[in-house]
Amino acid sequence: MAGTEYSAGMTDAMTADPAGAAAVFVARYRWLILLGLITAAIMEVLDTTIVNVALPQMAGNLGATQEEIG
């Protein structure tokens, strides 16, 4: 029963102070969140690079001008 009371108390504390609960969550997962953001930024740059390299080849294969694909 003590474990049940403890978890219920934690739930009550988290709902009573949502800002504090959010701060605890961010502090716990700070590096994982940062890793996710860095990965997303790298993927965005990589995607842009792939598109910039592929567009001229695609335009040549389709016989399109830069204005038509732009």
pLDDT digits (tens, 9 = 90+) for 18-36: 889 888 988 889 999 999 9
The domain locations on the chain are 2-69
Q: Tell me, what's the pLDDT at 12?
A: 56
Q: What is the rounded distance in angstroms from the CA atom of residue 61 to the CA atom of residue 69?
A: 12
Per DSSP, the three-state class of 53 is helix
Q: Tell me, what's the pLDDT at 33?
A: 92
Compute CA 7 distance to the chain's CA centroid, rounded to the nearest angstrom: 30
Task: Read off the pTM.
Answer: 0.56
